Chain A
Amino acid sequence: MSELVERGAAEIARDVNAKRVSAREIADAALARADAVDERVGAYLRVLYDIARETATRVDERVARGEKLPLAGVPFAVKDNMCLNGTRTTCASRILERWTAPYTATAVQRMLDAGCVPIGKSNLDEFAMGSSCENSALGVTRNPYDLGRVPGGSSGGSAAAVAAREAAIGMGSDTGGSIREPAAFCNLVGLKPTYGRVSRYGLIAFASSLDQIGPLARSVEDAALAYDAMAGHDPMDSTSIASEVEPTATALRNDLRGLRIGIVREFPLDPLGAEMKSAYEQAYRDLEALGASLVEVCLPTAEYGLATYYLIAPAECSANLARFDGVRYGSNVDAGDVGTMYERTRAAGFGPEVKRRILIGTYALSSGYYDAYYVRAQKARTLVARDFAKAFTSCDLIASPATSCPPFALGAKSDPYSMYLMDYYTIPMSLAGVPALSVPCGWAREGGRTLPLGLQLVAPHFAEALLLGAAHAYEGATKHAGTYAPSLVAASGVES
């Protein structure tokens, strides 16, 4: 393995800008790494050899002309629900298997403008619906820390790519935990920004009021650089927020003095088991040791988060996915009349989880059920948001586990509900629209393997600088993130 692929985004950008290494060399190393390991990891649905090399060459030309690019030459993975002009963009679904995007998502374009080089389009749960990447119709992604386990989801491909050193940055999207959970499972920093901070234009919608693009990285600094590049107002997205973005990469801190960190009363550690409990207790002590004062906060409606989410998100998805009808693009199954064509196209094109959510959402919006389901869910969502607003009157940040278990074995969670529970700790923040991240916080041993765990930190709306700053202090003191690269040991025991 080339040493170049171990480098983080900050280091790469520094060196490329200083012309100590070329973007092309970095890209070639990342492509070689993908060639070497991705057959086993399955992070990418498609490796973009030509685009990567051409983009890298253009970055080198820009640097040669004297441009200073915040992410010069940084190789990144683009989740395959984000449009990149001229590339197939599939959402890991049969229905879009052969669709080529004719335009580029705003957030992806901003990464390109900042000097990033796309290495591949990464796998996901179909239409970002899932927590393990197992709902992909187009490929299996494995956790680089244990190839017998899932990388998390839905941004599992981007997470696996970054963890396996096939990219320095992964672009993910988080609707109920789809950046934070795979970040926790793959020992990465994963940030879901404030709703509205990063443009959704060109992100293929799952649940519009919850979807938010964010970075996955191997360090807080890298995540901050990527967030700074992708965030900001976009006139193409009405929900994009117009106010100035506070830079985060320059606001990183090394202690937590003066910060009050809320520990959620409704998230007790006992149910997680002794090992995880002790890891999170240690994490809380580490926060304290850095100067933070811990306070108990209440999120009394958090327990309704999951039920609320599984009405609102499917309701929105039932309409968002209606456009996949076989008329203008995507796969199509011919039939004698248009109604049958819709039915056959959608029956063949969507996987079981997508169908389940379309059905739930259609039902929840139906005449006679709308008030009982959708309207009540919206009311509950308002209460969840109020809980956070109230909690943040007595603390600056909230800390909690990111997941309720370490990465699990492929195929271990066969019923949908147990999979839905994976997002228990992350969904309330999505409903409230507040920024949250997962930062590596230690290890759990299971089946002879050492598996990563994530600490979730949550901030009030628009406080990404505070959030990443605090995570940086925690990361610096604990060094969980950088110390242990995955050895890519397969379940059978073959090492790379």
Chain B
Amino acid sequence: MSAYEAVVGIECHVELKTRTKMFCGCTNAFGAEPNTQVCPVCLALPGALPVPNRVAIAQTLRAGVAFGADIPAFSKFDRKNYFYPDMPKNYQISQYDMPLVVGGEVRYWLEDGTTGSCPLERIHLEEDTGKSTHAGSGDGRIAGSAYSLVDFNRAGVPLMECVSAPALHGAAEAVAFLASLRRTLLELGVSDVKMEEGSLRCDANVSVRLVGTSQLGTKAEIKNMNSFRSVHRAIESEIDRQIALLEKGERVIQETRGWDEIHGVTHPMRSKEEAHDYRYFPDPDLVPLEISASDVERMRAELPELPWQRFERYTGRYDLGAKQATQLIDNPSLARYFDRVVELSRNPQQSTNFVLGELSRLANDTGTPVADSSIAPEALCELIALVEGKTINSKIAKELVERMWAGEGSPRAIVEREGLAQTSDPAAVDKIVEDVLARNADVVADYRNGKTSVAGYLVGQVMKASRGKADPQLVAELVKKRLGAS
């Protein structure tokens, strides 16, 4: 067992899904032709001034409320000064010492279903930069490039920065934290949170320390992670690197390191000494924000059920496995469908069996989402009721699901029309058993000579003779009984 434990903190940037940019009226949309979504404000033309996007502020506050954070009554925007060609003003409007959101926590669960929680330090709102493309340097970096192209479409897109406490222990917790944060923001509808489009970007602060000590080790900040998988790999790799250093008697130095996806290692980007002095100061173009307590209360009251709450409901009240619960949570329309079925049927187990079983299989095969299929939750509940009342057995139920999916309508109507109701009358079933045994005297003889495995075959033959309608349990009992009597 390792004598070291890892401590990880996550900083993530989330592009908000607003109609317009943070400080101007330009469209906020991914993927347009370069420099077509720009105006004097987001190009920082001389004389242009920022006007804050109220929707972006409200979305950030909603996220804060969802994470159970404090919403201070006052907040303000600050200028973060540094020069870079894709930052038009050469300062970024951000928030320094009075963020919109303070504290809160992200509750998450791991693959095995254990749950955890990581405190948030803050959430603040800022503007995104443009996007640079450096050509001619081979590695796509500015140093040594022949020329650079800048697309300012992204400049000024509202960006929410969430900073966790250094309270995650290892890569799995870090990824679980991120996944839960992502699901929550999706549920709130405030962002697309797509890592591949850059609407979710994250850095990890990683340090290690001896188990049992409380002081934090020297951290490295890891950048350039483009998927949850690379977050996981990068953190693991960095933990290993730091432990190896310490075991060799060397020190970890505070620095920023980049994740190299191809080689699976982190490499140094810049040291603490090279850190910028950002010279933050309150942006005089923007007046301080006053947040009304009643607005915050209204937001709190209007919160939807959050993913971690849903996880607790599914795994607790409904007794679903972590994997099933996650599958539902990550498919909101399926989860809504499922919730409706449970609500109507009051049978979480059967609801789970059908929705995550047959229905999901059919959805997969046909490409039609369950919620858009021809099986309304009410119709599925009718089917569940037929199963519960033992009117039909599971084999018939499966067949009915396929026919309902194909649009044949009410399961009860099909059952009645075609006489598919399960035969549970012992006398009637026993008559069939008697006939089948009579026709299979040789098999019966095998059984009686000790080859008891043939019982299953006989049960199958009885089911077949009943055209699947016999209660399988009853059939098994009666076959055994007759075989037992000689």
Q: Could you list which residues of chain A lie within 8 angstroms of chain B, going by C-beta atoms?
A: 81-83, 89, 91, 96, 99, 101-103, 105, 200-205, 207-209, 235-239, 315-316, 318-319, 322-325, 327-329, 337-339, 342, 362, 365-367, 370, 374
Contact = CB atoms under 8 A, between A and B. Distances in A.
A342 B88 CA distance: 13
Of A103, A328, A337, A374, the most chain B CB neighbours within 10 A belong to A328
A270 B263 CA distance: 79
Contacts of A81: 47
B428 interface: no
B281 A338 contact: no
Contacts of A339: 83
Given A238-B285, A319-B91, A323-B89, A204 B83 contact: no
8 contacts: A83-B47, A209-B284, A236-B51, A318-B279, A319-B81, A319-B89, A322-B81, A342-B83
Contacts of A315: 281
A325 B284 CA distance: 21
A286 B85 CA distance: 58
Contact of B47 (A201, A209, A338, A370): A201
B52 A208 contact: no
A128 to B, nearest CB: 12
B287 A101 contact: no
A94 B433 CA distance: 104
Contacts of B85: 325, 327, 338
Given A322-B89, A323-B90, A327-B150, A208 B284 contact: yes
B43 interface: yes
A324 B45 CA distance: 9
Given A91-B46, A101-B46, A319-B281, 9 more contacts: A209-B284, A236-B49, A319-B81, A322-B90, A325-B90, A327-B85, A328-B44, A328-B88, A337-B143
Contact of B281 (A89, A91, A322, A365): A365
A337 B48 CA distance: 28
B369 interface: no
Nearest to A341: B85
> What is the size category of the interface that chain B forms with chain A?
20 to 34
B40 A362 contact: no
B282 to A, nearest CB: 8
Contacts of A325: 83, 85, 90
A96 B281 CA distance: 26
Contacts of B277: 366-367
A329 to B, nearest CB: 7
Contacts of A83: 46-47
B47 A105 contact: yes
B50 interface: yes
A326 to B, nearest CB: 10
Contact of A205 (B47, B81, B83): B47
Q: Which of B40, B46, B79, B281 has the most CB of A within 10 A?
A: B46
Interface in B198-223: none
Contacts of A370: 279, 281
A204 B279 contact: no
B284 A82 contact: no
Interface string B128-161: 0000000000000011000010100000000000
